[in-house]
Structure 1
Amino acid sequence: MKVIVSAFSNLYTDQRIEKVCETLHNAGYEIKLIGNDWGGMEAVKRPYPVKLIAISSKSLKTAYAEFNWKLFKLLKQTADKNTILLANDLDALYPNYILAKKLGIPLVFDSHEIFSEMPAIQGKISQKIWRVLERKLVPEMKYMMTESFSYARWFSEKYSVDPIVIRNIPRRITERIEMLNNNPKILLYQGVINQSRGISQAILSLKFLTGVIFKIVGDGPKRVEYEQMVRDQNLENKVQFLGKLTPTELRKVTITADVALSIEENGGVSYLYSLPNKVSDCIQARVPLVMINFPEMMRVYNQFKVGEIVENHNPENLANKIKTVLENGRTFYQSELGKAAEELCWENEEPKILQLFKKVEKENF
C-alpha cells in the first residue's frame, strides 16, 4: 500500500514526520515523502523517496500558496487508487483534501499543533485565512492524529472530530547515560528560536545565576534579536547559540545538560495545550527539566516528578527554579526520569499509528 506523506515543515529537523514515516516504512508501506526547499534545505537522506518542491517565493505568505499549488500538481502525478494520503498540518491539507475527493482515496490528517492559533499569526489577516480553511476542512477529517490530549479535546469540541493522540516523543534510549560533572553547569534550551518560547526571560535569568552556561540549540526568526540581547546584557560569556543540529547531533548535546527548559508562554491555545518535543527528548536523555505549568506538562509532572514547575516567567523566579534543580543535582531526579522514559517513548506510540492505518486500509480497500 502506497502512502504519500506531505508537509510544508522542515523535513531535515522534523522528528515527528521522520518517526511516522519510519514506522510505516518498517511495517511494509511504500512511503513517498514530499516537502519543499523554502528557506534552504539540507540534504534529506531516508530509505524511501523524498521529493523537495522548489519554492521561488520570497515571502512566507506567497510560499504557502506556491507550495500548495505545486503540491497538488505533484500529488496528481503520483497518487493512484491504491494510495493513502497523509497531510501534516493545515498548511499542507487543502491539496490533499481536493485530490482525496477527486480520486476517492483516504486522507489521514496529522495536526502537529493548532495551526490557526499559533502565536506568530495572532491578530493578523493570515490567522483569519487559516481559520476559514480550518473550519472548512477539519470537520471533514475522518482519520486524524494530533500530538496531545489537550489538542485532541480542543479539536473534538470545536469540530466534532475524533483524533487519536500520537505524542511526538523519541524512541527509548537503552544505552547507559553517563552523568557528567560539568563546571560550569549546563542549562539547555532546544527547539525553534521564536517568540513565546520563554527564551528572552531565560537569558535574563542568567543575571541571577552563577556557574551556569546557557546553551541554545536551534534556529529561527528571533535568533538575531536574542543574540543582540545577549550582547546588550553583557552575557556573552554565559550564552552559546549552537545553531540547528540534526536529531543525532542534538541528542549528543542533550545528554550533557544538567537542566533543560520548557517554558513556553501562553501565546494562544496552540502553545498552551502543547507537549513540546523537548520535554520527552530530555526525559529520554535523563535530564531534569524546569517546565511551565501548562496542562500537558502538568500531566507529565503529576505522574512523574521529572524536574520542577515554574508558575510565571519572571527571570528571578525562573532562576530560583533552575537553582533548585542544580542544587538537587541530576542524580536526584533519575528514578522518576527513568519511569517516565519507559512510558514516554515512541515504541508506545507506534502500535496506535499502525492500528489507524490498518483501519484506513480495511475501510477503503
Structure 2
Amino acid sequence: MVYDVCFLLLQSIAHDARTLNLARTLVKNGKSVLLLGIGTADDCAHLALEGLIFIPILPPTPLSKLFLRWMKFYVFLFFKRNEFCSRIYCAEDVFTLPMAVMLASKFNSKVIYDSREIFSALASNHSRPLRQKIITLIEKKYVKNVTRMFTSGELDSEYLSTYLSIPTPVVIMNVPPFSTPNHSNLLRDKYSIPKNSRILIYQGWIAEGRGIIEVVKALQHLPEMVLCLVGDGEFQTVVLERARQEHVENRVIFCGKVPYDHLPLLTASADAGICFIEPISLSYSFALPNKLFEYCMAGIPTLVSDLPAMRRVLEEFPIGILVDPKATSILIAKSIRELFDEQFQLKFHEIQTTAARNYCWENQEHKVLDIFTS
C-alpha cells in the first residue's frame, strides 16, 4: 500500500498531542496516514478505530537513552524500508529527519519537517555542547532535502528562516481541539487531596528549566496548595529531593504520564496551571508550550513566565499572570495567589471561552491541509 502521509516520531504516540492532532486532521479529510513511532498493541487498536495505522517500532521503555532508541529505530526502518511506502514523510523532530530523508529518497517522495523546537539550541543540551553540535550538524545537513517545514511559533519561524537560510516556515500552533471545561474532582479523589486545598498542576516533561523547582520552593509560602506533576523525566528525583529540603514533599504529587486523550479531564480537575519556563536555552526563550493553551481550554488560569511568545498571548488574552523567570519564591507565591483573586477570576472567566476559541486546533487545520496537500 502507498500511504498519503507517513509520520515518524521518536516518542510515545499516546502522549504526542501534536502528531495525533496532525494525523487526525488528515484522516478526517480523506488522507491515508501511517504512524511509525513508540507505542503498544493497545495503541494500534485504539488508533485503528479512527482510521489511523500505527506501527510501534519500539515499545515504551522507562527513560531509555536517546541514542540507543535512535539507533534501534533507524536500524529497524533501514531493514524494513520497503514496507513503508508513502507520498510524504513527515519528520516530527530533528532525530527522525535523517530517517524521513532515507525513506523519501527510496520512493522519490516529499519530506516535511515539523521543527517543534529550536533543535539547534535545546534546553536538555545547554550543558552538553558536543551533543548539541552533532544535532545541529544533522539538522543543517538534512534540512536541504525538506520540501516544506513548519514550526509551533512565530519567533521560531523567524529565527530558523535566518539561521538555516530558508523561506520563513509556516506556523502551526501547538494547541488543543476546542472543548468546553468539564470540571471534576478527579485529582482530588485519586490522591485524597483535602477539599480546602487548592490544586496546582504542571503537565509535561519533568526537566530542568521548566520552573518546577521554583514552584516547589514557593510552596513553603503557600500552605493551602498542592502541586500535581503530570509527566515523567529523570529530573523528578531532583524535584523530590528539593521538596524534602523545603519540607513540602507531602504536597508534591507525582502523577506519572497520562495519555493525551485522557489529559483534559485531569487538567480540569485542578485549580490553576503552571507554565513557568526558564530561558536556559534559545528554544526555551522562544517557548510557546501547548500546556498554556490546554490549561485555558480546561478553564483554569496559569502562572506564566514572562517570555516573549507567551507575553504576546497574555497581552491579547489575560489567561494567566506573568512572572519574571528570575523571580524569588516569595514573588512566585504572591503571583500564584493572584490567580485566585476574585477580580482576576471574574476577568479570566469572562474571556476564557473567547481565548479558547481563538487558540484551538480547529483554527490550525487549514494550514495543515495546505502543507500536506499542496
State TM-score, norm by structure 2. 0.88
Q: Does residue 1:109 correspond to 2:122, yes or no?
A: no
Which of these residues, 177, 186, 192, is aligned with residue 199 of structure 2?
186
Question: CA contact under 8 A between 2:153 and 2:309: conserved in structure 1?
Answer: yes
Deviates more, 1:285-294 or 1:120-129: 120-129
Quote the residue 1:352 is aligned against: 367
Amino acid at match of 1:46: L
Question: CA contact under 8 A between 2:183 and 2:269: conserved in structure 1?
Answer: no
Question: CA contact under 8 A between 1:185 and 1:213: conserved in structure 2?
Answer: yes
Cα deviations across residues 284-332 of structure 1 (Å, max 9, x unaligned)?
A: 1121111011111011011111111001242111111001112236344
Counting only pairs closer than 5 Å after superposition, residues 1-365 of structure 1 correspond to structure 2 as: 2-36=4-38, 43-44=42-43, 45-47=46-48, 48-54=52-58, 59-79=65-85, 83-122=87-126, 123-161=128-166, 162-174=168-180, 183-311=196-324, 312-328=326-342, 330-359=345-374
Q: Secondary structure at the match of 1:99?
A: helix
Distance 2:308 2:41 in 1: 35
Cα deviations across residues 120-158 of structure 1 (Å, max 9, x unaligned)?
A: 112332111101111112244221111111111111111
Distance 1:315 1:76 in 2: 55
Distance 2:118 2:80 in 1: 26
Cα RMSD (Å)? 2.3
Distance 1:58 1:256 in 2: 31
Amino acid at match of 2:261: T
Distance 1:175 1:62 in 2: 40
Give the 3 Å change call, closer, same or farther, for CA 303–96 of structure 1 in structure 2: same
Distance 1:190 1:342 in 2: 21
Q: Secondary structure at the match of 1:75?
A: helix
Distance 2:271 2:30 in 1: 40
Q: CA deviation at 1:163?
A: 1.3
Distance 2:303 2:362 in 1: 25
Distance 2:58 2:256 in 1: 24
Amino acid at match of 1:146: T
Distance 2:333 2:119 in 1: 32
Q: Secondary structure at the match of 1:271?
A: helix
Deviates more, 1:298-307 or 1:220-229: 220-229
Give the 3 Å change call, closer, same or farther, for CA 347–221 of structure 1 in structure 2: same
Question: CA contact under 8 A between 1:219 and 1:243: conserved in structure 2?
Answer: yes
State TM-score, norm by structure 1. 0.90
Distance 1:42 1:301 in 2: 41
Q: CA deviation at 1:84?
A: 1.3
Cα deviations across residues 36-77 of structure 1 (Å, max 9, x unaligned)?
A: 36xxx6831202221112379963323223322322333332
Question: CA contact under 8 A between 2:149 and 2:170: conserved in structure 1?
Answer: yes
Amino acid at match of 1:14: D
Deviates more, 1:256-265 or 1:179-188: 179-188
Cα deviations across residues 85-116 of structure 1 (Å, max 9, x unaligned)?
A: 11111000002113323332111111111123
Amino acid at match of 1:154: Y
Question: CA contact under 8 A between 1:75 and 1:99: conserved in structure 2?
Answer: yes
Quote the residue 2:191 is aligned against: none
Give the 3 Å change call, closer, same or farther, for CA 10–206 of structure 1 in structure 2: same
Question: CA contact under 8 A between 1:169 and 1:280: conserved in structure 2?
Answer: yes
Q: Secondary structure at the match of 2:258?
A: coil
Q: How many residues were matched structurally?
A: 354
Amino acid at match of 1:97: V
Quote the residue 1:362 is aligned against: none
Question: CA contact under 8 A between 1:12 and 1:42: conserved in structure 2?
Answer: no
Amino acid at match of 1:17: T
Q: CA deviation at 1:168?
A: 1.0
Deviates more, 1:16-25 or 1:240-249: 240-249
Q: CA deviation at 1:176?
A: 6.0
Amino acid at match of 2:303: V
Identity of counterpart residues, as a percentage?
A: 27
Distance 1:256 1:92 in 2: 35
Question: CA contact under 8 A between 1:273 and 1:294: conserved in structure 2?
Answer: yes
Unaligned segments of structure 2, at least 5 residues: 189-193
